[in-house]
Amino acid sequence: MNIIEAKDVTKTYTIGDRQIPVLDNISLRVAKGEYLVIEGSSGSGKTTLLSLLSGLDKPTAGSICIASNDITDTPEDELAPLRNKMIGFVFQAFHLVPSLSAIENVMFPAELKHDPQAYEKAQGLLDRIGLGKRIDNFPHQLSGGEMQRVAMCRALINDPEIIFADEPTGNLDSENGKAILELLLEFHRERHSTLVLVTHNIEIAKMADRMIVLHDGRIVEDTSHAH
């Protein structure tokens, strides 16, 4: 069963009177529970594709479905609850709220859906990744590796069916990056979630069930890996 389906997707940005093509007629299916890596050089369209697949941005042409819901033209007020329920995001830049403590940042998506166990779930996730004693610290009091762990807990708190990760190890040293990736894969295997990860790290890409390579906004390679 496919949980994500993109059909003939094109994305063009208009700057002044210039049209800048970023993605060119991409079709892609992602199976439920699959670990897919999107690879490609800088400027190949990786982040744009992730934004479209997750409903953070809309295509210029083509259609995108998540779990049989066509999200191509869905208004933001209808899309936001679907994203909050089904999707977790881990970004390179963390995107933590500076005025919220670690546990408040993690709880935020669960509170949006009025989960009475938001605090307990957040505490459990932070304990598990070794930040149980840092729950009241604010982002500026945490290291880069710790901030990415908090961001990952926030992505996982609603037990999402799909996790989108955009270069989640990009701002971290190799040791922290490896730890973050291992945690992501652990949660993916435990919860049978679908993991879509953007990276240019070949070692990470080799661990995936499947890898697609983008070049100039087109898929130039689509390889399944047997593990």
The pLDDT, as a whole number, for residue 227 is: 59
The pLDDT, as a whole number, for residue 226 is: 67
Q: Is residue 25 part of a domain?
A: no
Q: What are the residues facing 194 on neighbouring strands?
A: 162
Task: Report the number of distinct structural domains present in the chain.
Answer: 1
Q: Is residue 131 part of a domain?
A: yes
Q: Is residue 126 part of a domain?
A: yes
Q: Which residues contact 210 (CB under 8 A, 6 or more apart)?
A: 34, 35, 36, 37, 222, 223, 224, 225
Q: Is residue 68 part of a domain?
A: no
Q: Is residue 44 part of a domain?
A: yes
Q: Is residue 54 part of a domain?
A: yes
Q: Is residue 208 part of a domain?
A: yes
Domain harbouring 214, CATH code: 3.40.50.300
pTM over 0.85: yes
Q: Is residue 156 part of a domain?
A: yes
Buried b / exposed e across 158-191, counting CB within 10 Å, b at 16+?
Answer: bebbbbbbbbbbebbeeebbebbbebbbebbeee
pLDDT tens for each residue of the chain, 227 residues long: 899 999 999 999 998 999 889 999 999 999 999 999 999 888 889 999 999 999 989 999 999 999 988 999 888 888 888 888 899 988 888 889 999 999 999 999 999 889 999 999 999 999 988 899 999 999 999 998 899 889 999 999 999 999 999 988 877 788 878 888 888 888 899 989 999 999 877 777 788 999 999 999 999 999 987 65
Range of the domain at 200: 32-58+75-224
Measured CA to CA, the distance from residue 143 to residue 172 in angstroms comes to: 10
